[in-house]
Amino acid sequence: MMCIKDKSVKAAGRILIVDDDEDILSAGKLLLKRKFTHVSTCNVPEHIPTFLSGQTFDAILLDMNFGPGESSGEQGFYWLKKILEINPQSVIIMITAHGGVDVAVDAMKLGATDFIAKPWDNEKVIATISSAVLLGKSRSEAHTLRETNKVLVEAANSVGKQTIIGHSHSMQQIHSLIQRSAPTDANVLILGENGTGKELIAREIHNQSLRSRHVFMSVDLGAISETLFESELFGHKKGSFTGAQQDRVGRLKAADGGTLFLDEIGNLPLHLQAKLLTVLEQRKVTPLGANEAVPFNVRVVSATNIDKQMLKMETKFRQDLLFRLNTVEIDLPPLRNRVSDIASIAHYYIESYCKKYNKQPKLMTAEALKAIESYSWPGNIRELRHTIERAIILSQSEQLENIDFQLETSPAVTRFSATSNQNSADNTLNSAESNQLSLPDDLNLENIEKNAISQALKKHGFNISHTAKELGLTRAALYRRMEKHGL
């Protein structure tokens, strides 16, 4: 007799009974259909592979012996292994006689979930199958979740697949540092002005590491308030504080197995630096409201736009945390110090934005190229990218000309730094006074806003957090206005 497939609609679970005894198949199907609306039977074990190829079952009942006189259980062992080869997530319950309990136990050691002894007790069978179905669904969901996470990780990591453009001497050194440090698990600290591509470097380190198949988790510490720091990084339990309506996994645990990128690490207050140091030293994190610490396994790559000399100030940054973060240190040069790379970076973004906005491919005139190579680019690559995007949108000629970039003549801007002596504080004050906002003659509000943002950015060395604070904006709002004005 061939396999018989039940055509009824799936409800509580999908069950398959494999036995050569027609009475067992009939009784089992009659019993289980009271609880489960999809029950299939098969009395020819050789048809199991074909039968399983077309559908998935939440639980499979498998006889230990097929044919008269068989009692060794070898057939059951064989088909148990075959089913698990086809689908390792299968939940299999062995059917055996009372005298074959020891054989069923051996089957459980090989991967079976449980066993039922013949003649069976109906209530016990229903309870056993119900538990098996729940287990089967859990395994299926877990498997689907793992596969989904794999796809999401690949999609997220593909964001960092952009090539790091530049063959200047300084960038060759950067490439060398990445190639040597990436395959290790050493913590990396990336220094550089805003817009120099610190996150791109961090992603490249991850992509070249042994953790590349796992998640790259980016955390902007400058955007997280002090009150939410522990919840965001360490996680919390339901009810641990007002508003904690459910458990939350922290970023450290969410990045388990992968790379945790801590951007703007220099903006972290000293008391939170101490908490971060403790967690990184112990490699365990205790969520808010929890009693037990949870181990995690991440590689830490951090970045800051703060000057290295400021990082060495005890009043600004904990030195023990700095030593832990900068096993390898990468100092990204500003764009004005790698002029030979500007043309190739510009051509990359010109091609990219021409495609994005369905424009014909454009080239730069010699004067335009000279202009962008002579400009100081205080906002570095980010400013160059925004400038090119605006030029592609607004340009009406076949070539990009000098006027399309709307560049202002300005001196090179150095990274914002601070010292502890009073003379430096006085100089900073005088500099602020000398950079007071000058209103345009027409009092155009758009111009006023653009000038205010530009002056504040230059005052703070393009430090986004400090600029946003002075202007009374959030970081997101400042970024939107910078995008709007092409800054």
Query: Which strands form 299-304's sheet, in the order they lie side by side?
Result: 216-220, 259-263, 299-304, 188-191, 328-331
Torsion of CA 45, 50, 56, 60, to 10 degrees: 0
Is residue 161 scored above 60 in pLDDT?
Answer: no
Q: Which two three-digit tokens encode residue 53?
A: 């190829």
Is residue 374 scored above 60 in pLDDT?
Answer: yes
User: How does residue 78 score in pLDDT terms, banded at 50, 70 and 90?
Assistant: confident
The pLDDT assigned to 144 comes to 65
- Tell me how far apart the alpha carbons of residues 216 and 153 are, in angstroms, rounded to a whole number: 8
- Tell me how far apart the alpha carbons of residues 452 and 450 are, in angstroms, rounded to a whole number: 6
Name, of 98-107, 144-153, 156-165, 277-286, the range with top average pLDDT. Answer: 277-286
Beta strands in 269-327 (DSSP E): 284-285, 294-295, 299-304
The residues pairing with 364 across neighbouring beta strands, listed in sequence order, are 400
pLDDT in tens, 394-425: 998 899 999 999 887 544 444 443 333 444 44
The fold for domain 14-146 equals: Rossmann fold (3.40.50)
Residue 340, C-beta contacts closer than 8 angstroms, at least 6 positions apart? 167, 168
State mean pLDDT over 443-450. Answer: 75
Residue with tokens 């790559």: 301
Choosing among 1.10.10, 3.40.50, 1.20.1070, 3.30.420, the CATH entry for 419-487 is 1.10.10
User: How does residue 172 score in pLDDT terms, banded at 50, 70 and 90?
Assistant: very high
Range 335-418: architecture per CATH: Orthogonal Bundle (1.10)
User: How does residue 426 score in pLDDT terms, banded at 50, 70 and 90?
Assistant: very low
Residue with tokens 């299999």: 92
Which region among 11-20, 251-260, 279-288, 331-340 has the lowest average model confidence (pLDDT)?
11-20
Angle, CA of 458, 459 and 461, to the nearest 5°: 60
Tell whether the torsion through CA atoms of 279, 283, 286 and 291 is positive or negative: negative
State mean pLDDT over 133-138. Answer: 79
> DSSP letters along 108-149, please?
HHTT--EEEEESPPHHHHHHHHHHHHHHHHHHHHHHHHHHHH
The pLDDT assigned to 10 comes to 44
State mean pLDDT over 444-472. Answer: 80
pTM score: 0.61
Range 162-237+248-333: architecture per CATH: 3-Layer(aba) Sandwich (3.40)
Return the amino acid letter for 236.
H
Is residue 190 scored above 50 in pLDDT?
Answer: yes
Is residue 97 scored above 90 in pLDDT?
Answer: no
The pLDDT assigned to 162 comes to 66
Residue-averaged pLDDT of the chain? 82
Question: What residues does each domain of the chain span?
Answer: 14-146, 162-237+248-333, 335-418, 419-487
Residue 199 and residue 218 in contact, taking contact as beta carbons nearer than 8 Å:
yes
Residue 474, C-beta contacts closer than 8 angstroms, at least 6 positions apart? 468
Q: Judging by beta carbons within 10 Å of its beta carbon (0-12, 13-18, 19+), is residue 288 exposed, middle or buried?
A: middle
Residue 13 and residue 61 in contact, taking contact as beta carbons nearer than 8 Å:
no
Q: Which two three-digit tokens encode residue 83?
A: 């089913």
State mean pLDDT over 301-316. Answer: 91
Is residue 350 scored above 80 in pLDDT?
Answer: yes
Answer whether 14-146 and 335-418 agree in fold: no
